[in-house]
Structure 1
Amino acid sequence: MILFIIINAIFCLSFLGFAYLNLNDIDWYLWVPIYVAVAACCGLACFGIYYPRIYMFLTGFYLVYAVKLFFAKDGVRDWIVKYRRPSLVETMQAEKPFIEMTREFFGLLIISAALIIDYVVVTHL
């Protein structure tokens, strides 16, 4: 159980940091709440407060949005097929839309994984 608390504390602090870094983005109004919501879930889990239905709702929303980013014009699929997977980490300024969408896609997968881990652990306590 202590490992679960430590992992959730790391997730919480990381996601709060990601929310902070997104404050200067053009679409901050979308990404700050996304990261804060998952940070809140992980932070509350550190104190034994769990909301499995919210975990599933958020995970569903994030995965649907990830699928949208995957198939969008200049999305992840285009990054793979059309642009032949250029580096996502050369510069933090994403001048190309396929780089930004691919980064957002992987961010959504990471936060979904954190919520799924919490859901599985909490429902099997």
Structure 2
Amino acid sequence: MLLIILNSIFFLAFVVFAYFNFNDKDAWLWVSIYLAAAVCCVLAAFQIFLPVVYLVLILFYLVYATALFFARDGVRDWIIKYKHPSIAESMQATKPYIEKTREFFGLLIISAALAINYFATANFLS
């Protein structure tokens, strides 16, 4: 039951996140990223598990998150160079490090949701 509730919350959140990304210049990428995770979560809520898909997506998301971490004006620069100012003051990302840091944390959230489903699959199928 907890897995159904959790996946329903993730599904709704990822659909909202995808909606917020429609106006970005790279909307095709971010809408796809969030909708792929949303589909995985809604299927898991109905106890349809896709462990191989979870692993492929997690790998892609973590590789992309690593690239954002080390990118110029990425998360590392946000921490070290810019002294980690708030990334939540405004919905508009006015500086590149804000956009990349938000994207980085979004990828980590998605990866965690899919990891929960991956490990739930092992428990569900056993």
TM-score, length-normalised on structure 2? 0.97
- 1:25-64 deviation per Cα after TM superposition (whole angstroms, max 9, x unaligned): 1110110000000000000011111100000000000000
- Which of 20-29 and 74-83 deviates more? 20-29
Deviation at 1:4, TM superposition (A): 0.5
Q: In structure 2, what is the equivalent of residue 30 of structure 1?
A: 29
Listed as ranges, the gaps of 5+ residues in structure 2 are none
| Superposed counterparts of 1:7-46, under 5 Å | 7-46=6-45
Alpha-carbon distance between aligned partners in 2 of 1:4 and 1:115, rounded to the nearest angstrom: 12
Deviation at 1:95, TM superposition (A): 1.1
1:111 corresponds to 2:83: no
Alpha-carbon distance between aligned partners in 2 of 1:40 and 1:29, rounded to the nearest angstrom: 16
Alpha-carbon distance between aligned partners in 1 of 2:15 and 2:3, rounded to the nearest angstrom: 18
Deviation at 1:24, TM superposition (A): 0.8
C-alpha RMSD of matched pairs (Å): 0.6
Q: Hey, which bits of structure 1, 4+ residues long, moved more than 4 A?
A: none
Q: In structure 1, what is the equivalent of residue 92 of structure 2?
A: 93
| Sequence identity percentage | 61
Aligned residues: 124
Alpha-carbon distance between aligned partners in 1 of 2:80 and 2:99, rounded to the nearest angstrom: 16
Alpha-carbon distance between aligned partners in 2 of 1:48 and 1:93, rounded to the nearest angstrom: 37
1:75 corresponds to 2:74: yes
Deviation at 1:66, TM superposition (A): 0.1
Deviation at 1:85, TM superposition (A): 0.3
Alpha-carbon distance between aligned partners in 2 of 1:120 and 1:114, rounded to the nearest angstrom: 10
Listed as ranges, the gaps of 5+ residues in structure 1 are none
